[in-house]
């Protein structure tokens, strides 16, 4: 698959990147590791006129601890983050989700910012232009209806970041800088559930940092996948706790993560949330395993993750 022609610009710093974006009147995308974006461009699912490379920006590459928070630059690679002492010592759910992401080669290239802002996925959508032309375009590709749930005017693609759920359970905040200035939002409120605009990111905004309050947590990440060596989550469940109760976040089933707070930490309380999440999940037949199985596994993985986090399971 050949890339279409595009203009390539390497930004010196965040202000330079925003100026490059503004000069192209919004007809540009940002590039970090490129492991999500470049395949989309090859498949002609994204055809930007210009690509602004953020990789050379030093201020986006560090992990710093100050004032009770750890601040992670968006360009920090998944591999660097996985091996960071603060992450290892305090956030088991995040450490495990980083370990479970793709394979080490991809972890060394892919950034945490790109991981959070990766596009949603579907077996009918993530295909070459030739494949999609022969099959008939789905809703996302400009067709009239979904090809998975026949006739549906709603897209059933899956948000598949392994690490956003762990960050959500750790109460992380996302910091942006863009043409309209700086702002910070809770990561949990980043997800819109809209297939055509899955993130509440304003035009030209750069995700600069992720900020997490540093507290010793219990936690775990459970992932359903076909190949242990490298695969997107078919279901992913992160659980974290820094006191009474659990934060739970589910990825891989639907356009945005499912988020829960567990206040009753008895076995019955955990089961109640596991059953609720299973019932809330609306998986479609757009991955390599059946929706019924994935729906059931949402609840199974929540119970399994909590058990493991409290040292009772394997």
Ligand X SMILES: Cc1cc2nc3c(=O)[nH]c(=O)nc-3n(C[C@H](O)[C@H](O)[C@H](O)COP(=O)(O)OP(=O)(O)OC[C@H]3O[C@@H](n4cnc5c(N)ncnc54)[C@H](O)[C@@H]3O)c2cc1C
Question: Would you tell me which residues interact with ligand X (CB under 6 A)?
Answer: 29-37, 39, 54, 74, 78, 101-102, 106, 109-111, 113-115, 117-118, 160-162, 206-207, 230-232
- Least spacing, CB of residue 226 vs ligand X, in Å: 11
Q: Which tokens is 175 given?
A: 């910091």
- Residue (92 or 114) nearer to ligand X, CB: 114
Q: How far is the CB of 136 from ligand X (least distance, A)?
A: 25
Q: CA torsion angle for 173, 177, 183, 187 (degrees, to 10)?
A: -20
Half-sphere exposure of 162 toward its Cβ, with a 13 Å CA cutoff?
A: 27
Q: Which is nearer to ligand X, 113 or 219 (CB)?
A: 113
Provide, rounded to whole angstroms, the least separation between the CB of residue 280 and ligand X: 21
Nearer to ligand X, 37 or 167 (CB): 37
d(CA 254, CA 120): 9
Task: For residues 133 and 303, give the distance between their C-alpha atoms in angstroms, rounded to a whole number.
Answer: 42
Nearer to ligand X, 33 or 291 (CB): 33
Q: How far is the CB of 214 from ligand X (least distance, A)?
A: 22
Question: How many CA within 13 A on the CB side of residue 98?
Answer: 24
Residue with smaller CB distance to ligand X, 136 or 179: 179
Name the residue number minimizing CB distance to ligand X. 114
Q: How far is the CB of 172 from ligand X (least distance, A)?
A: 15
- Burial string for 260-271 (b: 16+ CB within 10 Å, else e) reads bebeeeeeeebe
What's the min distance (Å) between Cβ of 51 and ligand X? 8
Q: Select 30 or 246, whichever has its Cβ closest to ligand X.
A: 30
Quick one: CA torsion of 203, 120, 152, 46, rounded to 10 degrees?
60
Phi and psi at residue 224, to the nearest 5°: -95, 125
State the DSSP H helix or E strand holding residue 268, giving kind and residue range, or none if neither.
helix 267-280
């Amino acid at each position: 698959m050949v890339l279409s022609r595009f203009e390539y610009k390497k930004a010196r710093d965040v202000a330079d990147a925003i100026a490059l974006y503004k000069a192209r009147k919004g007809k540009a995308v940002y590039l970090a590791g490129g492991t999500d974006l470049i395949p989309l461009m090859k498949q002609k699912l994204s055809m930007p006129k210009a690509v602004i490379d953020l990789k050379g920006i030093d201020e986006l590459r560090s992990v710093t601890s100050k004032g009770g928070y750890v601040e992670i630059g968006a360009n920090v690679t998944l591999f660097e983050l996985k091996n960071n002492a603060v992450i290892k010592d305090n956030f088991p759910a995040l450490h495990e989700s980083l370990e479970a992401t793709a394979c080490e080669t991809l972890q060394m290239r892919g950034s945490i910012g790109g991981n959070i802002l990766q596009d949603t996925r579907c077996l009918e959508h993530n295909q070459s232009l030739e494949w999609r032309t022969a099959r008939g375009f789905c809703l996302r590709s400009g067709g009239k209806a979904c090809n998975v749930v026949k006739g549906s005017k709603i897209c059933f693609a899956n948000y598949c970041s392994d690490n956003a759920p762990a960050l959500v359970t750790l109460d992380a905040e996302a910091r942006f800088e863009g043409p309209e200035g700086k702002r910070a939002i809770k990561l949990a409120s980043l997800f819109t559930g809209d297939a055509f605009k899955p993130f509440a990111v304003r035009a030209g905004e750069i995700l600069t940092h992720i900020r997490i309050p540093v507290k010793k947590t219990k936690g775990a990440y459970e992932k359903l996948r076909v190949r242990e060596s490298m695969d997107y989550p078919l279901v992913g469940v992160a659980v974290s706790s820094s006191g009474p109760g659990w934060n739970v976040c589910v990825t891989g089933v639907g356009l945005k993560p499912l988020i829960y707070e567990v206040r009753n930490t008895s076995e019955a309380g955990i089961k109640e949330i596991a059953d609720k999440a299973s019932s809330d999940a609306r998986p479609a037949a757009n991955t390599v395993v059946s929706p019924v199985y994935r729906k059931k596994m949402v609840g199974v993985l929540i119970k399994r993750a909590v058990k493991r986090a409290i040292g009772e399971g394997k």
